[in-house]
A and B are shown apart, each in its own frame.
Chain A
Amino acid sequence: MVEWITILVVCQLAGEALVALTHLPIPGPVCGMALLFGALVWNGRVPDGLGKTADGLLSNLSLLFVPAGTGVMLHFKLLAGDWLPLGAALIASTLMTIAVTAWLMARLSRRPPRRFEERTRD
């Protein structure tokens, strides 16, 4: 397990370094995710141990947001000034974004039945 954690941490470190060098507008860990993804494509499969480690870590992903989320307590005053526009925008905009993105993705990735027709025409 430690070997796979090591790989994750090294990928993150490489990601952070790459972002610092190239000024890419993404966080280091996201760059590390892209690096690990590249390595998996190159390797052709997910090693069992890595799969288990990743699944274990990700099945508790929500837990990892609790410390940062608790930081909300520091900034409630900032929200107080414009609470109505901010609150309305948060709810409406988040719902709109989810609806629009999912609808478009579902529509565009629906497989067109054309292929079947073409084949029958042949």
Chain B
Amino acid sequence: MTNLRDVWVYLAASPLLHLALTLVAYRVGYLLYRRQRFNPLFNPVLIAIVIVVSILLATGTSYQTYFQGAQFVHFLLGPATVALAVPLYRQVERVRRSGLAILASLLVGSLTAALSAIGIVWLLGGDRDSIVSIAPKSVTAPVAMGIAEQLGGLPSLTAVLVILTGILGAMLGPPLLNRLGIKDWAARGLAMGVASHGIGTARALQVNDVAGAFAGLGMGLNALATSILIPALWHLLFGGR
């Protein structure tokens, strides 16, 4: 018994345990997702997060300890984001042909994301911190946190809202688009990338190459658009308060 405990203490201190936990939890999530024929409601990221958080809470493990192992996975986000240039380049002709449509949809989508979030929180009586922190929710996390900080919000609240937005978009976006009868993969992908950044892009990539390419494009462009639009909008609406 003490042996087992010693082994546990040893493993819990090494990054290997939590690296393995991350990979295994994702594998479980992915297998479930696949068994449900890639039904977006069985989002593998959400399933993996629920498993990992439950285990960490049950074993009293801190996020910092967990992250020492998980950082090796987390680190690959950077190179993977760079790699989005490849599917994008494969669709370069299509992107060039619909340049204006992309630009217009991006601007309208970006404004919708920010204004509707600000408006709904305000209408339902949310406080100022909540309004500022949710405004950049559709943008990839590092940019969103920067915007929240610049406007005096809470970057850590923004980080949570960004992740939840990504998961919600990946889960609810596809059935919504089906219901609206939008079959154009470029439009579907762009919308997923603009509204729900990397997590939406990951879902789009699993489904269709064109959608994946346009989602990556939407995510990148929306990071740029939102970081210019939101501070300007904020001054317009609240006079820089």
Contacts and interface: CB of A to CB of B under 8 A. Distances in A.
B4 interface: no
Nearest to B113: A97
A37 B89 contact: yes
B117 A89 contact: yes
Interface string B176-189: 11001010101110
Nearest to A92: B120
A94 B120 CA distance: 12
Given A98-B196, A101-B109, A27 B187 contact: no
Given A46-B90, A86-B121, A102 B177 contact: yes
B225 to A, nearest CB: 10
A71 B162 CA distance: 12
B20 interface: no
Nearest to A7: B82
Contacts of A17: none
Contacts of A59: 205-206
B92 interface: yes
Contacts of B106: 101
A21 interface: no
A2 interface: no
B112 to A, nearest CB: 5
A50 B168 contact: no
B76 A108 contact: no
Contacts of A57: 76, 79-80, 83
A43 to B, nearest CB: 9
B80 to A, nearest CB: 5
Given A41-B89, A68-B141, A86-B134, A58 B80 contact: yes
A75 B83 contact: no
Interface of A: 5, 8-9, 11-12, 15, 24-30, 32-37, 40-41, 46, 50-51, 53-55, 57-59, 61-76, 78-79, 81-82, 84-86, 88-106, 108-110
Closest 4 CB pairs of A and B: A101-B109, A25-B227, A108-B101, A85-B126
